[in-house]
Amino acid sequence: MNTPAKPQLIVIGNGMVGHHLVEQLVEQGATQRYAITVFGEERHLAYDRVHLSEYFSGRDAASLALSTSEYYAEHGIELRLHEAVTAIDRDKGEVITPQGRYAYDRLVLATGSYPFVPPIPGNDREGCLVYRTLEDLDAIRAAAETAATGVVVGGGLLGLEAANALRGLNLDTAVVEFAPRLMPMQVDSEGGELLREKIEALGVQVLTGRATQEIVDGEASRHRMVFQDDKVLETDLIVFSAGIRPRDELARDCGLEIGERSGVVIDDNCLTSDPAILAVGEVALWNNSIFGLVAPGYQMAKVAASTLLEGGETFRGADMSTKLKLMGVDVGAIGDAHGDRTPGARQYRFLDPIKQQYRKLVVSSDGKRVVGAMLVGDNSVYDTLLQYYANRIDLPEDPAALILPAGGEAAPALGPHALPETATICSCHNVTKGDVCASIDAGAVDLGAVKGATKASTGCGGCAALLKNLVDHELESRGVEIDKSICEHFAHTRQELYDIVRVEGIKTFSELVNKHGHGLGCDICKPAVASILASCFNEPITDAAHIPLQDTNDTFMANMQKNGTYSVVPRVPGGEITPEKLMVLGQVAQKYALYTKVTGGQRIDLFGARLEDLPAIWGELIEAGFETGHAYGKSLRTVKSCVGSTWCRYGVQDSVGMAIQLEHRYKGLRAPHKIKFAVSGCTRECAEAQSKDIGVIATENGWNLYVCGNGGMRPRHAELFATDLNDEQLYRIIDRFLMFYIRTADRLQRTSVWRENLEGGLDYLKQVILEDSLGIGEELDRQMQAVIDTYECEWANAISDPEKLKRFRSFVNDARPDPDIIYTTERGQLRPA
């Protein structure tokens, strides 16, 4: 008896949404019902367009790929890459390519969009390109090799991404935008002006309100752009990134219903006007809307898979809120960010011109709901505002508190218990709190199982912290004990291990694992225990008993770079350096051909040191009076300072002197994570102390102390902890604060995250440190003094021991340097090829 052939399902398009559709078809069992064929116009397998610009910074097509050809083969899906569908014959139920005709029973259009190129005379000149695919980026890279300047036409999200790419290719870059501001869809005039300032500070010229009339031959460059006011701009390279248009030509040519302006019309089931054909992603027009973000496309893919299997999923639109980082600048837009779609909407605005941060909160006319928000320069409150908006949570009595620093206090966060079942936890995969709870009820008993069941936090990963908090909360509420063991080798938390080491005086990993653990250890517990041992006893990390515990950076006391070389960062306390020492750094950099850069923490970083050269480099630096800067360790990194009262006419205290004192006091202190300090000589805050773990700001009466701030990936304002302190009071409070943090924080936990998870919050911390409510103040004092008294420069220790120096060679059995390290020259310095 012959088995009836499966119906033929063809998917046209293998972009992010097209591939996600395939994943949904596999997950929902469609491979058992359909014979599936996927056509991709590009030669590359589906790749991550969200991180496309990283292609210019070292990532290749393979690392950007979302899957493998083996995945398709494993599930019996025929993948035909580099084969464009040129027509659809609806009468015969076939798609046509240059290679042949293929029959279908059901068809899905996932053709995406194409970059819009304004109809400007001269837009097709050589060197006028677009920014959309890997092939486009290859063309831009090739054109940039013979160019000095580049212009991006379009100041939206993709335009700024393209500008950053040109900047990364060492071109003098400009952005030309027709609208009166950058990112006009996301930000208002105030936010746009601030965004402009931040982009221009990066060296990118911004021209807004400019309409290009034509592109002709240039005099000094290849092209001359002539604007509507007859002003001109010359450039060697032009990249058009002025928006996108749906790739609906296949649908248009075969007679499917098309929107008034463009896009394939679909219903709530993602069906087109032909019930045999569906459409998803940027080509689809739902309710007169095109969705240009990946998350709505993923939702459509899930609905389309359900429709193909006669399921009940429907597409009901999508939230277009976005959180971005463009050229290192945070931009966030939530809901009705402009407030022009909500009758009677009220707006709160906050602008910090010093820190260059802008926040706008749009609330309903009755003041009870968030209807929109806008953020430029600081996205730290985005997640909180999004939950208020998405879940229609009642606003606090003073809505402005959500966006105002209020003395350094962050916007009140919403715990998992406050979120309704419909709250979206993961927007990439449209996972709600209810979905997470359902997975736990179905048997998922840990974070990994929840991720596997729901796919939450497997996209961009931005929801990871919220997801973990929710899972822990839901498990605990069901009476499940949360295993907080540091790893499989120790049934203890980091804090418990710290207490065991301190109380029992255990000084080696082997003794600790023999007494309180089992096995040989792993990459989680070994560095954590190494940090604990260093915090408690401050023995050199290069000693034979400790070196096997260290990660690569601590092992070689230098940060490994992407080409296998290392960076050298000598300590420059408070940023103060003598001309003699400055010359030594230049001589060493010149001798060993090192790339030199002044860091944001007022240090001079020397990049490109070969492993075998590190001892010699440090030998010369130590002889000149330098010490290791611990840039490689989970320890004190820097104490940044302004010039203070020594030079500045506004300074009220000697901030440089205090910064140097603090750096020498805490240098070498090992902690769960890196620690950064700053000292400002007055309230103008030039050292940016309120974004540091420890921030000190001078007053007429002494020093104000701020704690638990953080820059970086998740910015957080530091909080005012104590005021008008003299020097000795300041030292004692910082001593106790740091030792209590080291004693109680989790592994790899910054002070900001530790503070947010600390039961009792800032008030509890003040009670412990300022009021000594636990009676441990003197013990914390003694522990810190012991660390201070036993300090030893780790590099000085290492180069004095011949046994320790044996580690510094690229190959164990060969003294030659690593032949795979290759350099090129850029701006007069070497960089990795």
Q: Are both 149 and 224 inside the same structural domain? A: yes
CB 699 within 8 A of CB 723: yes
Single-letter amino acid, residue 800: S
Q: Are both 192 and 110 inside the same structural domain? A: no
Q: Model confidence at 409, in pLDDT bands (50, 70, 90)? A: very low
Question: What pLDDT score does 460 carry?
Answer: 58
Average pLDDT value for residue range 242-255: 94
Q: Are both 99 and 178 inside the same structural domain? A: no
Q: Considering the domain boundaries, does residue 321 fall inside one? A: no
* Backbone phi, psi, residue 702, to 5°: 145, -125
Q: Considering the domain boundaries, does residue 681 fall inside one? A: yes
Q: Are both 227 and 278 inside the same structural domain? A: no
Return mean pLDDT, the chain.
89
Question: What pLDDT score does 414 carry?
Answer: 62
CB 377 within 8 A of CB 350: no
- Could you tell me how far CA 13 lies from the centroid of its own chain? 28
CA nearest neighbour of 278 among 84, 112, 110, 429: 110
- 228's CB contacts (< 8 A; 6+ apart) are 210, 211, 212, 213
Q: Are both 472 and 524 inside the same structural domain? A: no
The answer to whether 463 is annotated as binding is no
Q: Considering the domain boundaries, does residue 122 fall inside one? A: yes
Angle between helices 579-591 and 614-623 (to 10 degrees): 160
Q: Are both 476 and 500 inside the same structural domain? A: no
Q: Model confidence at 2, in pLDDT bands (50, 70, 90)? A: low
Q: Model confidence at 128, in pLDDT bands (50, 70, 90)? A: very high
The answer to whether 793 is annotated as binding is no
CB 54 within 8 A of CB 134: no
Over 80: is that where the pLDDT of 463 sits?
no
Q: Are both 751 and 651 inside the same structural domain? A: yes
CB 48 within 8 A of CB 34: no
Q: For 646-662, how does the pLDDT look when each residue is reduced to its tens digit (9 = 90+)?
A: 888 889 999 999 999 99
Q: Are both 25 and 94 inside the same structural domain? A: yes
The answer to whether 648 is annotated as binding is yes
Question: What pLDDT score does 353 carry?
Answer: 85
* Backbone phi, psi, residue 647, to 5°: -125, -35
Q: Are both 255 and 129 inside the same structural domain? A: no
Among residues 271, 291, 308, the one where a domain terminates is 308
Whole-Å CA distances, 476 to 456, 711, 749: 20, 32, 22
Average pLDDT value for residue range 429-450: 85
Question: What pLDDT score does 712 carry?
Answer: 67
User: Tokens 């499966």 appear where?
Assistant: 6
Average pLDDT value for residue range 134-155: 93
Q: Are both 687 and 773 inside the same structural domain? A: yes
Of 40-44, 55-59, 110-114, 350-354, give the lowest mean pLDDT range: 55-59
Q: Are both 167 and 222 inside the same structural domain? A: yes
Average pLDDT value for residue range 672-691: 92
Average pLDDT value for residue range 176-199: 91
Report DSSP state, residue 65: B
Q: How many CB atoms sit inside 10 A of residue 768's CB?
A: 21
Domain that holds residue 500: 494-550
Over 70: is that where the pLDDT of 216 sits?
yes
Average pLDDT value for residue range 333-338: 91
CB 337 within 8 A of CB 360: yes
The answer to whether 270 is annotated as binding is no
Q: Considering the domain boundaries, does residue 488 fall inside one? A: no
CATH of the domain at 473: 1.10.10.1100
Q: Considering the domain boundaries, does residue 464 fall inside one? A: yes
Over 50: is that where the pLDDT of 407 sits?
no
Rounded to 5°, the CA angle 833-164-282 comes to 115
CATH of the domain at 109: 3.50.50.60
CA torsion sign for 648, 651, 653, 657 is: negative
CATH of the domain at 744: 3.30.413.10
Q: Model confidence at 818, in pLDDT bands (50, 70, 90)? A: low
Q: For 278-323, how does the pLDDT look when each residue is reduced to its tens digit (9 = 90+)?
A: 999 999 999 999 998 888 999 999 999 999 999 889 998 888 888 8
Over 90: is that where the pLDDT of 708 sits?
yes
Q: Considering the domain boundaries, does residue 675 fall inside one? A: yes
Q: Considering the domain boundaries, does residue 776 fall inside one? A: yes
Over 90: is that where the pLDDT of 479 sits?
no
- How many separate domains does the chain show? 5
Q: For 751-774, how does the pLDDT look when each residue is reduced to its tens digit (9 = 90+)?
A: 988 988 887 888 899 999 999 999
Q: Are both 91 and 177 inside the same structural domain? A: no
Task: Give CA–CA dist 436/453, Å, rounded.
Answer: 8
Q: For 41-98, how does the pLDDT look when each residue is reduced to its tens digit (9 = 90+)?
A: 999 999 988 778 778 766 778 888 899 999 999 999 999 999 999 999 999 999 999 9
Q: Considering the domain boundaries, does residue 575 fall inside one? A: no
Q: Model confidence at 722, in pLDDT bands (50, 70, 90)? A: very high
